[in-house]
Amino acid sequence: MADIEDLADLAERISAIYAERFGIDRDATWYLGKMTEELGEVTSAYLKLQGQGRGTGTRADLEDEVADLLGFVLLFARWQGIDAGAALERKWGAYLASDQ
């Protein structure tokens, strides 16, 4: 399994290529809009896979959309100076400490 920072680096490299190719200014509207768009695509892929959406979907479609969403979450976190891994450990890990 890849390290979360390695995944964030990968997302950044691909995002920079995409932004340059299409002349995109990666601003707040772009980061937030892309996360929202990808969450909608995850929802759509899941519903299709369950036979509840238009058309048919595959497990690979769902996995691809989850990958896109994760990529944009990591990009947003990096843009905001958030260490996503540390934030997850702090927030979710606190439940383990209080559970014992």
DSSP assignment of 32-97 equals HHHHHHHHHHHHHHHHHHTT-SSS---HHHHHHHHHHHHHHHHHHHHHTT--HHHHHHHHHHHHHH
pLDDT at site 63: 98
**Is 72 contained in some domain?**
yes
- Asked whether residue 66 is domain-assigned, the answer is yes
Q: What is the CATH number of the domain that holds 90?
A: 1.10.287.1080
**pLDDT attached to residue 99:** 66
Residue 50 has pLDDT above 80, yes or no: yes
List all residues 6 or more positions away from 12 whose beta carbon is below 8 Å from its beta carbon.
Answer: 75, 78
Q: Is residue 100 pLDDT above 70, yes or no?
A: no
| 89 — pLDDT class (breaks 50, 70, 90) | very high
- CA 52 to chain centroid, in Å, comes to 23
For residue 36, is it within any domain? yes
| Domains contained in the chain, number | 1
Per residue in 53-80, pLDDT tens? 888 999 999 999 999 999 999 999 999 9
Instruction: Specify if 95 maps to a domain.
Output: yes
pLDDT digits (tens, 9 = 90+) for 19-45: 999 999 999 999 999 999 999 999 999
- 17 inside domain: no
89 lies in which domain range? 27-99
In a domain, 22, yes or no: no
Task: Please give the distance of CA 22 from its chain centroid, rounded to a whole number.
Answer: 20
Contact 53, 98 (CB under 8 A): no
Domain contains 78? yes
| 16 domain-assigned | no
